[in-house]
Amino acid sequence: MSADATTRPPLPDGLVAIVKEDCPTCVLVAPVLADLAERADITVITQDNPDFPAAADWVVFDQDLALSWHHDIVTVPTLLRVADGAATTQIEGWSREDWESLTGVDGLGPDLPEWRPGCGSLSVDPSRTDELAVRFSKSTMNSRRVEIAALEDEWEAMYDRDWSDGLPVVPPTEARVLRMLQGTSRDPQDVVAIVPPDLVECTVEKIAVNAVMAGCLPEYLPVVIAAVEAACTDEFNMHGLLATTMPTGPVIIVNGPIRREIGMNSGMNVLGQGNRANSTIGRALQLVISNVGGGKPGGVDRSTHGSPHKIGLAFPEDEEGSPWTSLAESRGFSVDQSTVTLFSGESPRIIFDQISRSADSLVKHMALALRANISPRLAMGFETMLVIGPEHMARFKDAGWDRVRFLEELERHLMIEADEIIHGADGIGEGLPEAFAGIQVPKFPPGGIHVVHAGSNAGLFSMTFGGWVAGGTGSVTVTKEITR
C-alpha cells in the first residue's frame, strides 16, 4: 500500500458526475451529461468504461476507484457541486428538478422520465470492497504478515503451521481482518487481555484475526472480545483450566439484545451444530487461547480425554420464552445489557424426565440427576450449569415458582448424608474425607448452581454441565458486559 493510495484525492471543482456504463440510469442520463458538458462545464468520472458516456476530455476514468472510494460514492449516477476538492452538494440518481436546481441549467432531458433511482457504485460492490479497503485504508494492523508460497495450499499451510484446532480455518487475509474489525468501535491496538498460559498481550486485532479463522462474522466480534476478557481474568483461571487433566473448557452463555441481533439460536439444537454464531464464537475464543496464548493440547493443555466442546461452545439463553429472570439478571445485570457468562464445564449431559407433571416431582428428579455431576461420591468442590428445556420449565411456571423458589427447593434436595459418600462407604474408595462423617453436606457450594433456559419446546428434557474445581483453587464463573 503506497502513501498516495491512502491520501484522499481531490475532486475537480465545479460540477462533477460519477457514473458507470453498467447502470441503466447512467445510460439514460448520458445525453444530459453531454448537454451539461456544453452548457455548464461538467467533469464526468466514469468507473467502468473510459469512453462512457463519451470519449471526451471532460470524462475522467476512475480506473482504480480511488476517487469513488475516498469520496464515499454509494450510488451512481451521483451529481456533485464541488469546492476546494470536496463535495458541498450531492444528488443520487436522476431527478430532473433536482439536477436543474443544482446545475442552474433548465430543460435537462426533456424526453426522460422525471425520476429514476440509481445503481450501486463499483466502490461499494461486495466483490471489491475488501480489496479497496486494503488498498486505500490507512491500516494500523501490526500483525506479522506470512507469505504463502505459490504452490502451497493455504488451508494445509495453516494446519502445518499449527494455527488450527484440527479443523480447517479461514485464511486471515488483511482484507478479511479489516472487515472483521468493522464489527467494533475499539481501536485495533487496544490490549484486551493478557492471554495464558504464555501471558501474551492480546489486542483487538489479534482477536479479529482468530475470529476470521474461526468463521465469525464481524457482528460477532464484540461477543468474542468480551469472552476473551472474561476468560483471561484471575477469577476464571484459564491457565488452570488448561492445565487440568479433567475434560473441561469454557462454556459461553450470551444474554441480552445482542443474541437476537446476531441471530444466535436458543431453541432447537441449541447446544449443537447448525447456527453460525453459536458454532464460531466459542471456537474463536479457543483459537485465541491456542494461537495467542500458546495453550495447545499436549503442551499446557493436559486434559486426559478432552471433549468435543473444547473446540468451542457458545449459546444464548431463551429469555423471551422464560418466565424467570435471566442468568445475567441473576448476576446483577439489566435486561438491556448484553453479556457473556463463562462457566468452566465438561460436556453437557441429559436429564430425562417425561412423566413428572408437578414441580415437586421434577425438582426432586433433577436433584437426583445432579448428584451424579462429576461423581456422585463428591460434594462441595464443583459447580454446575443447568439448562432447563421449555417443557420442563412449564412445570415450574404452572406451579408459580420463580428462580429463587426453584433454587431453594433444588438445594434442599441436594443435601447429602456424608456417611453415604465418605471414603470406603459401600466399598468404594472415592469419596469425602472421614472428617465429614455424621453430617449433611450440600452437593454444590453456595451459589454454585447456575440456571439457564434454552432448547426446543418439543422434548421433556433438560441438560446439565458438570463444573471444574470451584473457588480460589479452581475457577469462578465470570460475567462481562459486551461493548461495541
pLDDT, average across residues 219-234: 98
Q: Per the domain annotation, does 146 fall within a domain?
A: no
Residues 81 and 177 in one domain: no
Same structural domain for residues 120 and 209?
no
85 and 26, same structural domain? yes
Please state the rounded mean pLDDT for residues 367-390: 97
Residue 92 cell numbers, joined: 443520487
Q: Verify that 160 and 115 share a domain, yes or no.
A: no
Distances (CA, A) of 359 to 220, 243, 323: 37, 40, 14
pLDDT of residue 267: 97
Question: Residues 103, 187: one domain?
Answer: no
Q: Are 482 and 258 in contact (CB under 8 A)?
A: yes
Q: Which of 444, 222, 215 has the alpha carbon at shortest distance from 343? A: 444
464 forms beta bridges with 349, 386
User: What is the tally of structural domains in the chain?
Assistant: 2
User: What span, in angstroms and rounded, lies between the C-alpha atoms of 183 and 232?
Assistant: 21
Tell me what pLDDT residue 248 has: 96
Please report whether residue 454 resides in a domain.
yes
3-state secondary structure of 317: coil
Query: Which residue type is seen at 109?
Result: G
Mean pLDDT of 180-194: 96
pLDDT at 2: 41
> What percent of the residues of the chain are helix, what percent strand, and what percent coil, each to the nearest 5?
35, 20, 45
Is the pLDDT assigned to residue 232 strictly greater than 80? yes
Is pLDDT above 80 for 273? yes
Given a cut of 90, is residue 54 above it in pLDDT? yes
Other CB atoms within 10 Å distance of the CB of residue 298: 7
- Alpha carbon of residue 148 to chain centroid: 28
Give the model confidence (pLDDT) of 64-121 as tens digits: 999 999 999 999 999 999 999 999 999 999 999 999 999 999 999 999 999 999 999 9
The model's pLDDT over 413-430, given as tens digits with 9 standing for 90+, comes to 999 999 999 999 999 999
Statement: residue 43 has pLDDT above 70: yes
Q: What 8-state DSSP symbol labels residue 423?
A: T
Strand, helix or coil for residue 270: coil
Do 8 and 103 fall within a single domain? yes
Q: Residue 57 falls within a domain, yes or no?
A: yes
Same domain (yes/no): 306, 352 = yes
Among residues 70, 105, 136, which one ends one of the domains?
Answer: 136
pLDDT of residue 475: 96
Q: DSSP letter at 309?
A: G
Question: Which residue, 101, 136, 171, sits at the end of a domain?
Answer: 136
Instruction: Compute the distance between CA of residue 227 and CA of residue 220 in angstroms, rounded to an integer.
Output: 11
How high is the pLDDT of residue 3? 40
Residue 222 falls within a domain, yes or no? yes
Q: Assess whether 126 and 200 both reside in one domain.
A: no
Same domain, 234 and 287: yes
DSSP structural state of residue 418: G
- Mean pLDDT of all residues in 376-400: 97
Is residue 396 domain-shared with residue 451, that is, in the same domain?
Answer: yes
Strands 449-453 and 382-388: parallel
- What is the per-residue pLDDT for 4? 52
The whole-angstrom separation of Cα 35 and Cα 70 is 28
The verdict on residue 141 lying in a domain is no
Domain membership of residue 98 as a residue range = 4-136
Q: Looking at residues 46-56, what average pLDDT do you find?
A: 97
In a domain, 149, yes or no: no
133-176 pLDDT tens trace? 888 876 668 888 898 888 899 999 999 999 999 999 999 999 99
Please give the Cα distance from 465 to 281 (Å, whole number). 19
Residue 85 belongs to a domain with what CATH number?
3.40.30.10
Please report the DSSP string for 340-400 in residue order.
EEEEEEEEEEEEE-SS--SHHHHHHHHHHHHTTSS-TT--SSEEEEEEE-HHHHHHHHHTT
| 337 and 458 together in one domain | yes
Looking at every residue in the chain, the average pLDDT score rounds to 95
For residue 180, is it within any domain? yes
pLDDT at residue 1 above 70? no
- pTM (2 d.p.): 0.86
Asked whether residue 197 is assigned to any structural domain, the reply reads yes
Widest pairwise Cα distance in the chain: 103
* 194 and 101 in a common domain: no
Which amino acid is it at 15? L
Q: According to the model, what pLDDT value does residue 78 have?
A: 98
